[in-house]
Amino acid sequence: MEYTPQELMVVVAAREIRDGEVVFVGMRLPLLAFLLAKATHAPQAVGLFENGVIRDTPAAEFLATMSDGPNVTGAAWCGEMMEVMALLQSGRVDLGFIGGAQIDRFGNLNTSVTNDNGKITRLPGSGGACDIASLARRHIIIMNHERRRLVPRVDYVTSPGYGEGGDWRQTVGLRGGGPVAVITTLGLFRFDPTTKEMVLTSVHPGVMAEKVKAETGWPVRLAPTLSTTEAPTEAELQRIRSYDPQGFWTRSRQ
Positions marked catalytic: 50
How far apart CA 67 and CA 204 sit, in angstroms, is 32
How far apart CA 31 and CA 166 sit, in angstroms, is 32
**Length, in residues, of the chain:** 254
How far apart CA 153 and CA 207 sit, in angstroms, is 25
How far apart CA 166 and CA 97 sit, in angstroms, is 22
User: What is the number of other CB atoms lying within 10 angstroms of the CB of residue 82?
Assistant: 9
16, 140 in Cβ contact below 8 A? yes
User: What is the number of other CB atoms lying within 10 angstroms of the CB of residue 140?
Assistant: 24
Three-class SS state of 79: coil
35, 200 in Cβ contact below 8 A? no
Contacts of 22 (CB under 8 A, 6+ apart): 45, 46, 48, 87, 92, 93, 94, 95
